[in-house]
Amino acid sequence: MDISNPRLLKIKGLLFLFLGLFASGLLIAALPDPRLALLLAIAIWSFCRFYYFAFYVLHHYADPGFKYAGLLDLAGYLIKGKPRGGPGAGADAP
């Protein structure tokens, strides 16, 4: 299902935020250790930076012509290189 309604997209984003806060809170409540809280914060921050790298930095700076749909496409692109044609091969493919 493709969600294009801006209101639903905002609700979806807020639900992700709530879920992350809720799960983190439950984890820290179950194991109240400052080291765990710090490691959890570092892990969350690192995953957010990776997401930014994967879907913004690579597209805007490394290869603006290549389009990919998700992390599996990105992994294939990083491992094999740019596809040479066919469906989803990117805007500048022959």
Instruction: Give residue limits of the domains in the chain.
Output: 1-31, 33-87
Query: What is the arithmetic mean of pLDDT over 30-53?
Result: 94
* pLDDT confidence of residue 91: 46
Using the predicted structure, report yes or no on whether residue 48 has a pLDDT greater than 70. Answer: yes
Question: What pLDDT score was predicted for residue 1?
Answer: 65
Whether the per-residue pLDDT at 58 is higher than 90: the answer is no
Of residues 84 and 52, the one with the higher pLDDT is 52
> No. of H helices and E strands in the chain?
3, 0
Q: Which residue has the tokens 């439950």?
A: 26
Long-range contacts of 54-58 (CB under 8 A, 24+ apart): none
Residues 6 or more apart in contact with residue 58 via CB below 8 angstroms? 74
Q: What is the pLDDT of residue 92?
A: 45
Residue 45: is its pLDDT beyond 90?
yes
